[in-house]
Chain A
Amino acid sequence: MNTFLAYIADNLGAIGIALAQHIGIVAAALALAVPVGIAAGIALAHARSRAARTAVFYLLGLGQTIPSLALLALAVGLLGVGLLPAIVALLLYAILPIARNACTGVQSVPEATRDAARGLGMTNMQIIRRVELPLARPFIIAGLRTATVVTISSCALASLIGAGGLGDFIFSGISLFKPEAMLAGAIPTAMLALAADWFLGRWAARGHAVR
């Protein structure tokens, strides 16, 4: 315990930088995955053919079964090492839960509500922006929550392909058999994931604040 605290005290700056890198990678991946996922979800919810929708989600689901470590490793093969392949792999991983939930959310809007909006003279874009998206909000946030937690966890593996982040401490701790270094990476990663989960859970629970 004392060695752990001493290690933390000695490496506070480096841990802070790794934490910032970690958050940066996750934020970059999500910043791209959220708009793409939501747009894909809306488009799929409006797709005429139900079979096509089912097929797309089935294929995306199968893609999701590819382990994150394998996806990161494959990204290295295509894009080399560093930040870029890590962000690309994580963003591909985050799209499915966001798209699926956005689609479910939009589908949950009653047809009568959509008809009423059309009766008010709204265009299709206006219906999406002012009716469907606000009503689908709890679903979208739930998807974002899943995606965020998964991305934070997988991002610990991104250190392996040279992207930095808290995984650096975990991996060097394992290689050097230095539990204190490993804990210095593992504990903040787990806390970050739990904090994001809790925070987004609170946000989702805060009712349907339809403006």
Chain B
Amino acid sequence: MSFLQFLHEYDTSLLIALAEHVRMIAIALAIATLAGVPLGVWGARNRRAGGIVLAFANVIQTIPSIALFGLMIPVLALVNRGIGTFPAIIALVLYALLPIIRNTMVSLLAIPHATLDAARGLGMTEGEIFRHVMLPLALPGIVSGIRIAATMSVGVAAVAAFIGAGGMGHFILRGIQTTWPMMTIAGAVGNALLALIVELLLEWVERALTPRGVRIGAERSA
């Protein structure tokens, strides 16, 4: 069976796996963004709290993905949700938090004091400064954090197949278990392509959201 024949034979299951994969990371990223951005804003205002949040997120990041998934099983088994998509999404959220929190904090703290002083001098209230000055300036950095989290999540979500969450990792896993390289390669290539697409797409969003004046020398952060 050639690779193309394989793709044709398994097109439906590949598409289902892709949909499962995308759904998993989309939910996880939405939660992580909703939690991470406010945490980052809080961390930028309260440096000590920010340090603690970052250190905690850093420790989670250091735990290998398969170990984190493994740890989810006995913990969530207590509420009967040890395997499947549920623990996978929780683990993905935990992983995605660090880059989002860190980038939000760093981009807010990188805004020059002179800019904030100028806004204050124009008579803006704190709320207006946040909405009209700080947020637009920090937005590309925040999106960059989401991009890093998203690309990472595509890879981590592949590992989630081991705890029964489905996705492209399922093909890799089944291919290895049945020593059928073609199935493994189909999963791996699909997984890698998805990661590349997500990366390029969010890079584009990041560029589009950068205010024109800031675009000069916009280096990729982290």
- Asked whether any CB of chain A lies closer than 8 Å to the CB of B67, the reply is yes
Are A70 and B172 touching (Cβ within 8 A)?
A: yes
A67 and B154 in contact, given A62-B199, A179-B74 (Cβ under 8 angstroms): yes
Residues of the B chain whose Cβ atoms lie less than 8 Å from the Cβ of A77: 181, 184-185, 188
List the B side residues contacting A161 at CB < 8 Å: 176
Question: Complex formed: what's the CA distance from A62 to B63 in Å?
Answer: 23
- Contacts between chains A and B (CB distance < 8 A), count: 126
Q: Which residue of A lies closest to B77 (CB)?
A: A179
B39 within 8 A of A: no
Whether a CB of chain A sits under 8 angstroms from the CB of B196 is yes
> Known contacts being A157-B66, A171-B162, is A73 close to B172, with CB within 8 Å?
yes
Residues in chain A near residue B71, CB distance under 8 A: 182-183, 186
Q: Are A69 and B158 in contact (CB under 8 A)?
A: yes
**What sequence of 0s and 1s flags, for each residue 160-204 of chain B, a beta carbon within 8 Å of any chain A beta carbon?**
001100000100110110000100110111011001101100000
The reply to whether B196 and A65 form a contact with Cβ atoms under 8 Å apart is: yes
Interface residue count on the B side (C-beta < 8 Å): 40
Check if A61 is an interface residue, CB within 8 A of chain B: yes
Task: Determine whether A5 belongs to the interface, using a CB cutoff of 8 Å to chain B.
Answer: no
**B-binding segment of A6-14, A146-154, A203-211:** A146-154
Flag if B163 contacts A174 (CB, 8 Å): yes
A197 to chain B, nearest CB (A): 6
Assembled-state Cα–Cα distance A179/B184 (Å): 27
Q: Is the CB of B175 within 8 A of A69?
A: no
Q: Mark A172-201, 1 if CB is under 8 A from B, else 0.
A: 011001010011011101100110010000
Report A-chain residues with C-beta under 8 Å of the C-beta of B62: 149, 153, 190, 193-194, 197
Q: Are A194 and B155 in contact (CB under 8 A)?
A: no
Cβ B196 vs Cβ A69 within 8 A: no
> Is B210 at the interface (CB under 8 A from chain A)?
no
Q: Which residues of B contact A189 (CB under 8 A)?
A: 63-64, 67
A155 to B77, CA, bound (A): 26
Give A26 Cβ to nearest chain B Cβ, in Å: 12
A76–B181 touching, CB < 8 Å: yes
Across-interface contacts of A67 in B (CB, < 8 A): 154-156, 158, 191-192, 195
B10 to chain A, nearest CB (A): 16
Interface 1/0s, chain A 138-177, versus B by CB < 8 A?
Answer: 0000000000010011111100110000010011011001
Which A residue's beta carbon lies closest to that of B164?
A174
Tell me, rounded to whole Å, the shortest Cβ–Cβ distance linking B173 to chain A.
8
Chain B neighbourhood of A120, CB < 8 A: none
Q: Tell which of B65, B66, B176, B198 has the most Cβ of chain A within 10 Å.
A: B66
A70-B158 CB under 8 A given contacts A62-B199, A76-B184, A186-B67 = yes
Closest 10 CB pairs of A and B: A67-B155, A186-B67, A153-B64, A179-B74, A70-B188, A73-B188, A182-B70, A66-B192, A70-B191, A156-B64
Ordered by A's residue number, 6 sampled pairs between the chains whose C-beta atoms are within 8 Å are A66-B195, A67-B192, A69-B188, A153-B62, A156-B67, A186-B63
